Structure 1
Amino acid sequence: MAVLETFTDDRPADEVLRWSRAMVEPALRTAVDELDEPMRHVASYHFGWCDEQGRPTSGQGGKVLRPALTLLCAEAVGGAPSSAVPAAVAVELAHNFSLLHDDVMDGDHTRRHRRTAWTVFGVDAAVLVGDGLLTLASHVVATSGHPAAQDGTRLLSAALLDLVNGQAADLECEGRDDVDVAECLAMVNGKTAALLGAACALGASFGNAEQRQVTGMHEFGRQVGMAFQIADDLLGIWGDPDVLGKPVHADLRARKKTVPVVAALTSGTPAGQQLAELYNRATPLSESELAHAAELIEAAGGRAWAREQTDAFLARALGQLEAAGVRRRACAELATLARLIVDRNH
């Protein structure tokens, strides 16, 4: 049966995410408890578990999309989702390591509708807690006692190396005016798609899958990751700040070379040339200039091209699922999550 079909027993995305959170969060909190105070306080604030003073809150932080993919990939290959909880926890720890460091590097003041950790506790604390979460991610996999722990540790390490290299490329591209689309997509493959690919491959591996299924799930996750980042780039320019929880045009203000921006800059159009003049200006851009930059990206075809690429990567991801020979319900729910990840506006 095709992945694109839905069935009466398929759970909707919000139910899958609640199920994933219920399975993963207790183990995630246990892992974070390994940190000493005050690092544990900073991490708990970042995850949305407490306020600035350490008082418990009802917040839940992010949507834990990556852990949900990990658990579903384990189920899809015939394993018990519970067996992949350590892998799911590791993926969420690694993801939040990158968020803490991203917020510092980008100078972002808002995430998930409240102040970023570095603005509350300082840069040093945020960087150290990010380092702590990164260390815990590998530790959780390595000490899981699962037969796939050794391979899983290698897989996660390789993804994290790709992520760091991708982030380094992202920073380096900000200062250049000759970035092309192929280079931009390679950067996305590292900084975002690598960890999503690892999330899915780890789930399959901890579900005791055959190597061909692990490889297939890895590629599924990478393709979803490509679509996810390009969709995120679009939201960074045209998303609703009230929904996103961060200011509009933040990427343009930082002169980031995101996919729609690079597509516009390399379009050879008059709008692309005007955008290059704005991007190369030494002085900060005003709000009206940022809005004009967004208009130029659209006029140069960057927005439409990025949307086409998002759809293409998502289609390839779904095609990987159809070819993987995995359990139908988990397969359908993975497809639902993939669409949510790409179509989200949060």
Structure 2
Amino acid sequence: MKQFSEQWLPPLEAELRAVLAGNEPATAAHYGMIHYHMGWVDAEFRPVTLPAGKRLRPLLCLMACQEVGGDPVQALPAAAALEILHNFSLVHDDIEDGDERRRHRPTVWALWGIPQAINAGDAMFALAFAALQRLSARGVAPETVLAALQLFTETCVALTEGQHLDMAFEQRAWVSVDEYMRMIQGKTAALIGASVAIGGLIGGAAQGVDASLRRFGQSIGLAFQIQDDILGVWGDPTVTGKAAGADILRRKKSLPLLHALNHPIHGDAFRSFLSRPELTADDLPEAMELLARTASYEYATQQMHCLYQAGLDALQEALGERAERSLLWATAQWLMHRQM
């Protein structure tokens, strides 16, 4: 995995920069905002190198392409498209959620205002499609490009559905676990599933294999989000970079909290706790005790492991005996044991 990342992250970065370049002085600030979000420049648009996320989705795309016998070079435009789409969603999410910081620095809207941030996000959305169209220049067959475009478009719609549900949940006192799973299916799992499936398509996956790869990615994506939920409550602050119990203080409707809220015996007590006008770090021990009574950690962990296993089963359908030796399998195992 480390060797693969070291080999393919530089050409991926080059592809991203080519798509997001901008070359007109009059719109330099427009692209500067995009470059700022990508971690390439500071707030004065001076070049810097800053953490830019895991690049998980594009790497999965390139891995899937290689695992089915294709050349990852051909998949670089799709990998860039997936990463740009993901970052577009983050720019808009920050606005919609009112988050003023991402990756330890101010968000785009916090620096340049909501209208400009919306416009920068819109540009990234359009440029994600422009990136995907560069597949033709890499020798990808027209019918494959069209199939990738169809899946990519479906994924864009799924992202908006997931975000709609996420924002709607913020206005509701009660959300069921099933509703939550439907939300993260759109907001998180759809894009990870598409990343693997599109890589498989470009690599020439046999009929049906791309569908199994998509199921692998979707299951891993769901597990990945639930793992984030677990870390948001029980993660080590020195590793995650977040305050202990941050999601509790934010009253975030994550899976552990929803399980507690829906608990048949202790749900009323937890709902009463979260309905307090103000929650501080001093309230966390009480919250942890309530979560322990509902066994929400055990429930969320079990769900996470079940989904990871479903993903590995789908990968075995796709790759057969090679599955356990594949980079995709190794990546799933690494994700399952991550701490941040």
Instruction: Give the TM-score taking structure 2 as reference length.
Output: 0.90
Answer yes or no: is 1:304 the counterpart of 2:301.
Answer: no
Q: Taking structure 1 as reference, are residues 279 and 75 closer, same or farther at Cα in structure 2, changes over 3 Å only? A: same
- Counterpart of 1:37 in 2: which secondary structure? helix
**CA distance in structure 2 between the aligned counterparts of 1:25 and 1:194, rounded to whole angstroms:** 23
**CA distance in structure 1 between the aligned counterparts of 2:288 and 2:29, rounded to whole angstroms:** 41
- Which has the higher relative contact order, 1 or 2, with Cα contacts under 8 A spaced 6 or more apart? 1
Q: Taking structure 1 as reference, are residues 329 and 178 closer, same or farther at Cα in structure 2, changes over 3 Å only? A: closer
**CA distance in structure 1 between the aligned counterparts of 2:280 and 2:150, rounded to whole angstroms:** 46
Q: Percent identity?
A: 35
Q: Is the 8 A contact 2:188 2:221 kept in 1?
A: yes
Shift of 1:256: 2.3
| 2:127 match | 136
| 2:327 match | 333
Shift of 1:321: 1.4
Select between 34-43 and 260-269 the one with higher mean Cα deviation.
Answer: 34-43
**CA distance in structure 2 between the aligned counterparts of 1:295 and 1:123, rounded to whole angstroms:** 40
- Counterpart of 1:84 in 2: which secondary structure? helix
| 1:17 match | 5
**CA distance in structure 2 between the aligned counterparts of 1:132 and 1:241, rounded to whole angstroms:** 35
Q: Which amino acid aligns with 2:68?
A: V
**CA distance in structure 1 between the aligned counterparts of 2:5 and 2:282, rounded to whole angstroms:** 39
Select between 127-136 and 331-340 the one with higher mean Cα deviation.
Answer: 331-340
Q: Which amino acid aligns with 1:299?
A: R
| 2:39 match | 48
| 2:17 match | 29
Superposition map of 1:309-328 within 5 A: 309-325=303-319, 328=322
Q: Which amino acid aligns with 1:334?
A: L
Q: Is the 8 A contact 1:20 1:67 kept in 2?
A: no
Aligned residues: 332
- Counterpart of 1:211 in 2: which secondary structure? coil
**CA distance in structure 2 between the aligned counterparts of 1:332 and 1:306, rounded to whole angstroms:** 27
Answer yes or no: is 1:231 the counterpart of 2:222.
Answer: no
Answer yes or no: is 1:220 the counterpart of 2:216.
Answer: yes
Deviations 1:183-229 (A, max 9, x none): 11111111100000000011001112123111111111000001000
- Counterpart of 1:57 in 2: which secondary structure? coil
| 2:165 match | 169
| 2:287 match | 293
Select between 287-296 and 311-320 the one with higher mean Cα deviation.
Answer: 287-296
Shift of 1:314: 0.6
**CA distance in structure 1 between the aligned counterparts of 2:274 and 2:248, rounded to whole angstroms:** 8
Select between 81-90 and 327-336 the one with higher mean Cα deviation.
Answer: 327-336
Select between 299-308 and 16-25 the one with higher mean Cα deviation.
Answer: 16-25
Select between 39-48 and 21-30 the one with higher mean Cα deviation.
Answer: 39-48
Q: Taking structure 1 as reference, are residues 340 and 121 closer, same or farther at Cα in structure 2, changes over 3 Å only? A: farther
**CA distance in structure 1 between the aligned counterparts of 2:9 and 2:106, rounded to whole angstroms:** 23
| 1:114 match | 105
Q: Taking structure 1 as reference, are residues 138 and 298 closer, same or farther at Cα in structure 2, changes over 3 Å only? A: farther
Q: Taking structure 1 as reference, are residues 15 and 60 closer, same or farther at Cα in structure 2, changes over 3 Å only? A: farther
**Residue of structure 1 aligned with 2:271, choices 271, 276, 283:** 276
Q: Which amino acid aligns with 2:228?
A: D
**CA distance in structure 2 between the aligned counterparts of 1:88 and 1:143, rounded to whole angstroms:** 11
Instruction: Give the TM-score taking structure 1 as reference length.
Output: 0.89
**CA distance in structure 2 between the aligned counterparts of 1:99 and 1:242, rounded to whole angstroms:** 24
RMSD across aligned C-alpha pairs, in angstroms?
A: 2.1
Select between 210-219 and 232-241 the one with higher mean Cα deviation.
Answer: 232-241
Q: Is the 8 A contact 2:316 2:323 kept in 1?
A: no
Q: Taking structure 1 as reference, are residues 245 and 17 closer, same or farther at Cα in structure 2, changes over 3 Å only? A: farther
Q: Which amino acid aligns with 2:20?
A: V
**CA distance in structure 2 between the aligned counterparts of 1:111 and 1:19, rounded to whole angstroms:** 27
**Residue of structure 2 aligned with 1:82, choices 73, 96, 99:** 73
Q: Taking structure 1 as reference, are residues 53 and 291 closer, same or farther at Cα in structure 2, changes over 3 Å only? A: farther
Deviations 1:218-275 (A, max 9, x none): 11100000100000111222223443344554433332221111111111232x3222
Superposition map of 1:245-260 within 5 A: 245-260=241-256
Shift of 1:337: 1.2
**CA distance in structure 2 between the aligned counterparts of 1:327 and 1:29, rounded to whole angstroms:** 38
| 1:344 match | 338
| 2:93 match | 102
Q: Is the 8 A contact 1:80 1:207 kept in 2?
A: yes
**CA distance in structure 2 between the aligned counterparts of 1:294 and 1:82, rounded to whole angstroms:** 48
Gaps of 5+ in 2: none
- Counterpart of 2:28 in 1: which secondary structure? coil
